[in-house]
Amino acid sequence: MIYVGGVPFQSDGPSSSEQGSKILLALMEHPTLVSASCSFKSTPERKFSASEDSGLERGTGCKWVYVFQREYATVDPALVDLVGTDEATTCVGLAIRNHKSGMTSVGHLDSPDVVETGLTQMLSLVVDQNSDEMLEVHLVGGYNDSSPQGMDSVISNHTDHSGFSFPLCAKIVETLEKSDMVFHLQTLHVLENNTRQDSEGNAYPIFNGFMVEPSTGSIFPANFDRTSRCPDEVVRRIRLSSSYEDPSWNGRLLETYDIPTDRFVIAPCAWTIHQLQIAMMLQNLSDAEILHICSTSPSVEAPDFVENERRQWDYLKKHPDWKETFPMKQPRIFERTPSGRWKRSPVARADAESKLCTTE
């Protein structure tokens, strides 16, 4: 169930197929959440980089964990300073923190299909046996998007023509409300709360990402550069595409980070001939065509969206056999260096040398 301002949230009306939408609309008007969203909106966005000469706010020495689309990570405040995600347009970032232990889980949800199982995954390492634990919840992302045009059915798995953000947000709050656990919703910076308009009336998300400080529970808008979206950035992006063709990942968020060892463990994923064919087809298209085929929100993507797509296709072209990336079907493991960066660890029979994530 959902609490707001320390009080149980009461949703009106009997349960129905539209219950999630009704709950969401009511929450969007709740004075406490409106005030919290205004405060979040007025918080300066922090730009995060692992490069020493980037000139951005945070660099070496800070221990962080970054979450890509359809991934989640749960972190221990004794080991990690910050955990977060970005690149969300129609996606939503969900943060759940155990107020007592500080254990914090962040998931980057991109479809209603992953909400129920994804929430279970996130809670598995946040909640102990004590059912009375206070769970702080933050939702950031999504905006007032309109129905996309020109989406290629080969790429897109979305079919809801009313937009992508609203159904996802509705599913999240409905799942939280139906749960037997108590969720203290503290931030609901989604949809109109996260929408700005240009002079021509076009809608854009205000923020695309956030960071949570597990030790304190503080949350703030955040933006990352390529050096901080690590480790194993390109392979993890490719793994997202591969997961759509792997039935074992249906309805689930992708796991990457291992709490006890403070390591990233990238499980083997196999890209298929179909995925290679798509990459070959797309690589010769124009930037505008790539945006309209590969994005749910082509008009509001970050400047590096197309470049990131092309780097994935280049990698697939150079490594058509997935076993080159995962020799002997072993995971790719990354350990933290004293400076807070990530270094590749030796993998059984792998001939790749350890290297810093920022040099990949």
Q: What is the DSSP string of 72-100?
A: EEEE-TTT-SEEEE---SSSEEEEEEETT
DSSP classification of residue 174: H
332-336, strands of its sheet edge to edge: 257-258, 263-266, 332-336, 342-344
DSSP classification of residue 193: G
For residue 160, give every residue at least 6 positions away whose Cβ sits within 8 Å of its Cβ, in sequence order, or none: 167
Query: Considering the entire predicted model, what is its pTM?
Result: 0.89
Query: Residues 244-267: pLDDT tens digits?
Result: 888 888 999 999 999 999 999 999
The band of 15, judged by pLDDT with boundaries at 50, 70 and 90, is low
Angle, helices 305-318/287-294, rounded to nearest 10 degrees: 90
CB–CB of 125/174 below 8 Å?
Answer: no
Which residue segments constitute the domains of the chain, with CATH numbers given? 2-359 (3.30.1330.200)
Predicted local distance difference test score (pLDDT) of residue 354: 41
Q: Cis bond leading into 327, ω under 30°?
A: no
Query: Residues 80-118: pLDDT tens digits?
Result: 999 999 999 999 999 999 999 999 999 999 999 999 999
Predicted local distance difference test score (pLDDT) of residue 351: 45
3-state secondary structure of 124: coil
CB–CB of 173/1 below 8 Å?
Answer: no
CB–CB of 205/143 below 8 Å?
Answer: yes
Buried b (16+ CB within 10 A) or exposed e, 223-247: bbbbbbbbbbbbbbbbbbbbbeeee
